[in-house]
């Protein structure tokens, strides 16, 4: 496995980067001021970013520095039995939440998604997918976060999170290798179907777009297609992840949705018209 930084070029296979599986890692520390009613907006939330699981301890040290500066001027709500108190039960105890976004498209393609999601839940983490317009876990892109800080020490939670995210990275990268070496037709079929839809569809909702672009993102980060870079695939996915449907449930709302979906389809037809498998794909897959 080559551990290098991302760039806009496809590179040569195998181009398996941990940063193409995991992103937007955060440590969140919730503290409520003592003597203030517990409303949803009363808690302070301190945060630090991390990029890979190995960076979690250093991010936590920076977070503690922030907490010490706040604690110098404020008293936190604390109980000898339950630890730090919060209006949110999942934040009681240490008040620490550890999260990151993970893209698990290859694990879905090889049929291991259900096992992985069960394993995440078994260690008291949640994997929250995008569910819109009848599409469940669109793009197999999940917000994975700890869902309980009660009854576990900060060190244990940090260690558990690092193990979990390392395992997710390794399992997804192994799944990508398996697609190439054992299931190339499965991989080829998913990408080819996605390309066919994006090049010829007449209506395309933001969430269907998110789901369909996922196999293409995987092909792009593995260096198998021309015409779509890592950066472009990520930008498209981020835009669709931020999409909202605030149109009214009425005839006018339906008309506006159709217009939105028609415009998105026309844009996708043009954008993906020249996206093709490249010579690396022909060497390893086709």
Examine the domain organization and report whether 175 and 192 are in the same domain. Answer: no
Distance CA 240, CA 208 (A): 9
Residues 183/177, Cβ–Cβ less than 8 Å: no
Distance CA 258, CA 204 (A): 9
pLDDT by residue (tens digit) across 223-270?
999 999 989 999 999 999 988 888 888 999 899 999 999 999 999 999
In the structure encoding, which two tokens stand for residue 21, read together? Answer: 């599986």
What is the predicted pLDDT for the residue at 37?
63
Residue partners of 76: CB distance under 8 A and separation at least 6: 31, 32, 33, 34, 84
Domain boundary among 180, 212, 245: 180
Average model confidence (pLDDT) for the chain?
A: 89
What is the predicted pLDDT for the residue at 40?
56
pLDDT by residue (tens digit) across 27-77?
999 888 887 666 556 678 899 999 999 999 999 999 999 999 988 888 888
| Stated pTM of the model | 0.88
What is the predicted pLDDT for the residue at 7?
38
* Host domain of residue 75: 20-180
Asked if residue 5 has pLDDT above 60, the reply is no
Examine the domain organization and report whether 27 and 163 are in the same domain. Answer: yes
Residue 4 lies inside a defined structural domain of this protein: no
pLDDT by residue (tens digit) across 87-108?
777 777 888 999 999 999 999 9
Which phi-psi region, left, alpha or beta, contains residue 204 (left: φ > 0; alpha: ψ -120 to 50)? beta
Residue 190 lies inside a defined structural domain of this protein: yes
In the structure encoding, which two tokens stand for residue 24, read together? Answer: 């937007």
Residues across the chain: 286
Residue 1 lies inside a defined structural domain of this protein: no
Greater confidence, 219 or 36? 219
Residue partners of 195: CB distance under 8 A and separation at least 6: 216, 272, 275
Residue partners of 35: CB distance under 8 A and separation at least 6: 75, 77
Beta-ladder partners of 50? 25
What is the predicted pLDDT for the residue at 2?
36
pLDDT by residue (tens digit) across 154-211?
999 999 999 999 999 999 999 999 999 999 999 999 999 999 999 999 999 999 999 9
Domain boundary among 138, 161, 180: 180
């Amino acid at each position: 496995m080559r551990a290098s930084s991302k760039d806009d070029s496809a590179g040569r296979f195998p181009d398996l980067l941990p940063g193409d599986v995991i992103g937007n890692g955060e440590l969140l520390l919730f503290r409520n001021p003592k003597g203030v009613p517990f409303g949803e907006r009363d808690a302070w939330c301190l945060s630090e970013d991390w990029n890979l699981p190995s960076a979690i301890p250093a991010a936590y040290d920076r977070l503690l520095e922030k907490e010490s500066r706040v604690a110098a001027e404020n008293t936190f709500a604390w109980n000898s039995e339950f630890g730090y108190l919060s209006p949110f039960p999942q934040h009681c105890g240490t008040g620490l939440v550890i999260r990151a976004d993970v893209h698990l498209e290859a694990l879905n393609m090889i049929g291991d998604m259900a096992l992985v999601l069960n394993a995440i839940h078994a260690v008291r983490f949640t994997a929250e997918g995008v569910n819109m317009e009848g599409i469940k876990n669109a793009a197999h892109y999940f917000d994975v976060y700890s869902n309980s800080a009660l009854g576990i020490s900060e060190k244990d939670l940090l260690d558990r999170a690092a193990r979990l995210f390392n395992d997710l990275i390794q399992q997804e990268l192994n799944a990508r290798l398996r697609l190439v070496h054992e299931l190339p037709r499965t991989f080829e079929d998913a990408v080819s179907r996605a390309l066919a839809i994006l090049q010829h569809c007449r209506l395309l909702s933001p969430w269907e777009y998110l789901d369909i672009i996922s196999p293409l993102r995987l092909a792009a980060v593995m260096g198998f297609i021309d015409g779509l870079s890592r950066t472009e695939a990520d930008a498209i996915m981020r835009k669709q992840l931020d999409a909202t449907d605030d149109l009214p449930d009425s005839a006018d709302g339906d008309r506006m949705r159709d217009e939105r979906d028609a415009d998105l389809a026309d844009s996708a037809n043009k954008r993906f018209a020249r996206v093709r498998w490249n010579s690396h794909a022909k060497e390893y897959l086709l």
